[in-house]
Amino acid sequence: MKETKEVYEQLHKFHDKEIVLGTKMENTCPLCHTNSFHVQYHLQDFDVLQCRSCGLKIRDHIPDKKQLSSFYNKKDYWDTPYFSNCFAQYDSSRLEIQAYQHVLDFLNSLSLSGAILDVGCATGVFLDLAQKGGWKTMGVEISEYAASYGRNHFKLDIHTGTLDNISLAPSSFDVVTSFEVVEHVDDPISFVQKSAILVKSGGYLVLMTPDHSSLIAFVAHVLYRLSFGKFTVPVYGIYDIEHIVYFTPKTLRKLVEPFGFKEVKILKESLDLERSKEVQSGIYLVGMKILIFFSKLIGKEFKFTSVYQKLSY
Ligand SMILES: [Zn+2]
């Protein structure tokens, strides 16, 4: 399995495995708090478990928060092709930027305006777009490297840290967004609760994350099963080593709606192959392009953005 080894090496190229793998977690479902799981995928470095009760998928190891924080703060982490479009002169034609624009377009279609908070805003590209669209913006970002970049280059109000160490008044934002963050946190309930409380009554919570019920995830699953668990490369690519919880639109809805929200829209986003150049070669590239085409055709794209409205009582 020389090819498999090479792909693993490429996937790990920018990761410190010791930091990212962390310690084996208590097998309690962060969504429904039951503790009955089955191992869905047995991978080289960790297992992917699925909750028998609610269907949520989680990794069996969680990283140490302090180590992870220092990991995200390394300049090397951001100096990778994956984040090449996070800086000034970002390319608006790229899929990741279009995904941000889709959210702003949807909010505009509701004739919304006011204040947006982006949680885990990285360097602040989404907030830069929002600011240009007339929104009052604020960001929270765990990486001082990314936060200071956003403050200096996009002139944004970005607080370094998490919602745990910033004091914001409840109901102070019309919209709270978080792009590709909820899958990185080990306590998604607390993360959503702290985000939800900041949304005004009638306001919106917007969460983007990979869809583990996408066509690409399904094909990876089939290949894994057909090979009796030996062909793990596609699964490994989807069940990202940095992610702790793996959502679908259904499990994310189960997480958010109990906080008094109603799902009003799901925006689908294709996999951006330009962001995953390390797994692009020959047959993978052709295969991925075909899969992306069919994913769009049947509405089972790689990522989704759920928009939830806070109900008024
Ligand atoms: Zn569960």
Q: Are 163 and 193 in contact (CB under 8 A)?
A: no
263/61: higher pLDDT: 263
Beta bridge partners of 115: 136
For the chain, the domain total comes to: 1
Beta bridge partners of 199: 173
**Non-local CB neighbours of 293 within 8 Å, separated by 6+ positions:** none
Q: Does residue 171 sit in helix, strand or coil?
A: coil
Residue with more model confidence, 279 or 132: 132
**In this predicted model, what pLDDT tens digit does every residue of 119-128 receive, in sequence order?**
999 999 999 9
Report whether 198 contacts 189 (CB < 8 A): no
CA of 105 to the centre of ligand 1 (A): 34
Average pLDDT over residues 170-185: 96
Distance, CA of 31 to CA of 57 (rounded, Å): 10
Residue scoring higher pLDDT (273 or 129)? 129
Ligand 1 centroid–CA 156 distance in Å is 38
In angstroms, what is the span from residue 36 Cα to ligand 1's centroid? Answer: 8
| DSSP H or E stretch at residue 288 | helix 282-298
Phi, psi torsion values for 201, nearest 5 degrees: -60, 130
The predicted model gives 45-68 an average pLDDT of 83
Burial pattern 248-262, b for ≥16 Cβ within 10 A else e, equals bbebbbbbbeebbbe
- Any idea what the CATH number is for the domain that residue 16 is in? 3.40.50.150
The model's confidence at residue 24, banded by pLDDT at 50, 70 and 90, is: low
* DSSP state, residue 164: G
Beta bridge pairs of residue 47? 42
- Is the Cβ–Cβ distance between 253 and 55 less than 8 Å? no
Average pLDDT over every residue of 61-85: 72
What are 220-255's pLDDT values in tens digits?
999 999 999 999 888 888 888 788 899 999 999 999
Report the pLDDT averaged over residues 85-100. 86
Domain that holds residue 198: 2-310
Q: Is the model's pLDDT at 138 over the cut of 70?
A: yes
- Residue 62 CA, ligand 1 centroid: distance in Å: 17
Pair of tokens at residue 250: 């259904």
38 forms beta bridges with 50
Q: 21 falls in which pLDDT band (50, 70, 90)?
A: low
Q: What is the pTM (predicted TM-score) of this model?
A: 0.89
| Of 176 and 242, the one with more pLDDT | 176
Say how many Å lie between the CA of residue 175 and the centre of ligand 1: 28
Nearest C-alpha neighbor of 12 from the set 44, 37, 34: 44
Average pLDDT of the chain, as a whole number:
86
Q: Reduced to 3 states, what is the DSSP secondary structure of residue 159?
A: strand
Band (30; pLDDT cuts 50, 70, 90) = confident
Maximum separation of any 2 CA atoms in the chain, in Å: 59
Cα of 249 to ligand 1 centre, how many Å?
15
Taking the centre of ligand 1 as the mean of its atom positions, its distance from the CA of residue 244, in whole angstroms, is: 14
Asked if residue 9 has pLDDT above 90, the reply is no
Q: What does the radius of gyration of the chain's CA atoms come to, in whole angstroms?
A: 19
More confident residue, 217 or 24: 217
The answer to whether residue 15 scores a pLDDT higher than 50 is no
Instruction: Give the containing element (helix H, strand E) for 218.
Output: helix 215-226
Please state, as a whole number, how many other Cβ atoms lie within 10 Å of the Cβ of residue 40: 17
> How many other CB atoms are there within 10 angstroms of residue 34's CB atom?
14
Of all helices (H) and strands (E), which one includes residue 200? strand 199-210
Rounded to the nearest angstrom, the distance between the alpha carbon of 28 and the centre of ligand 1 is: 8
Residue 10's pLDDT is 44
Q: Interhelix angle for 215-226 vs 282-298, to 10°?
A: 130
Nearest to 171 by CA among 139, 193, 201: 201
Distance 252 CA to ligand 1 centre (A): 12
Report the separation in Å between the CA atom of 256 and the middle of ligand 1, taken as the mean of its atom positions: 14
pLDDT at residue 4 tops 80: no
Residue with more model confidence, 28 or 5 = 28
Most confident of the ranges 29-33, 53-57, 304-308? 304-308
CA of 223 to the centre of ligand 1 (A): 25
